[in-house]
Chains A and B, each alone.
Chain A
Amino acid sequence: GQQVMQIPQYQHVQEGEDFTTYCNSSTTLSNIQWYKQRPGGHPVFLIQLVKSGEVKKQKRLTFQFGEAKKNSSLHITATQTTDVGTYFCAAYLNQFYFGTGTSLTVIP
């Protein structure tokens, strides 16, 4: 069964608006990774979170790991057209399970 769920499945935003995707698991996670996949491309590693409550930033991207280590979020501030793609979380539970992904469309 699906180990890692992501919401929303799709998100359309106007350029300049913020965007958030959420990743949820019923199981406590040892770590979580985030990937971005451009249309027609392959997943590209963004970041790994390990500690409870951890927050990491990469320019306009903010990643957070929940206190209970069962959920995570990715927030993009002031989206740009270059942010278009599908964002996946991946959690290690004896193997890496990828979430269902959130497809982001940015309208210029």
Chain B
Amino acid sequence: DAGVTQSPTHLIKTRGQQVTLRCSPISGHKSVSWYQQVLGQGPQFIFQYYEKEERGRGNFPDRFSARQFPNYSSELNVNALLLGDSALYLCASSLYPIGNYGYTFGSGTRLTVV
């Protein structure tokens, strides 16, 4: 069984550019959450999608957007990149939004903005 897969694993972008990160949840999981983790800090919640609908949004600017597809995979888009967007972006999947059995995280996408 494949775990949560994220692509790409690493990415370098220039300030002002746009980026799309992709996530495929564990088979059967309908909830996908996105987190940003800056070095030395805990993951910060960005979005949660369940059954293709947004279930929650963290305290991030409108430059951040996401969507979930019919196969439950998800994309996170970030526009007008800033240096401060450099971080590890984690995708987590779960059966249900509250994650009663815990969230399973992917290995993340390391985004560097220069």
CB A25 to nearest CB in B, in angstroms, measures: 13
CA distance A33 to B102 in the complex (A): 7
Q: Name which residue of chain B comes closest to A50, CB basis.
A: B100
Cβ of A95 and Cβ of B42 under 8 Å apart? no
CA distance A43 to B35 in the complex (A): 11
Cβ of A45 and Cβ of B102 under 8 Å apart? yes
Q: Is A88 an interface residue (CB 8 A)?
A: yes
Q: Is B95 an interface residue (CB 8 A)?
A: no
Which of A45, A46, A88 sits near B43, CB closer than 8 Å?
A88
The stretch that binds B, out of A11-19, A55-63, A77-85, A97-105, is A97-105
Cβ of A43 and Cβ of B48 under 8 Å apart? no
CB A35 to nearest CB in B, in angstroms, measures: 8
How many residues in A have their beta carbons less than 8 Å from beta carbons of B? 21
Cβ of A48 and Cβ of B42 under 8 Å apart? no
Q: Is B64 an interface residue (CB 8 A)?
A: no
Cβ of A88 and Cβ of B105 under 8 Å apart? no
CA distance A94 to B45 in the complex (A): 11
Cβ of A95 and Cβ of B48 under 8 Å apart? yes
Q: Is B76 an interface residue (CB 8 A)?
A: no
Q: What 1/0 mask marks residues of chain B from 46 to 69 whose CB sits below 8 Å from any chain A CB?
A: 001000000010100000000000
Which of A42, A45, A92, A100 sits near B42, CB closer than 8 Å?
A100
CA distance A35 to B33 in the complex (A): 16
CB A100 to nearest CB in B, in angstroms, measures: 5
A24-79 residues at the B interface, CB under 8 angstroms: 31, 33, 35, 41-48
Which of B58, B104, B106, B107 sits near A95, CB closer than 8 Å?
B58
**Which residues of A sit under 8 angstroms from B99, Cβ to Cβ?**
33, 92, 96
CB A88 to nearest CB in B, in angstroms, measures: 5
Cβ of A96 and Cβ of B33 under 8 Å apart? yes
**Which residues of A sit under 8 angstroms from B2, Cβ to Cβ?**
none
Q: Which 10 A-B pairs have the closest CB atoms?
A: A45-B102, A98-B42, A42-B105, A95-B56, A98-B43, A95-B45, A101-B42, A43-B105, A88-B42, A42-B107
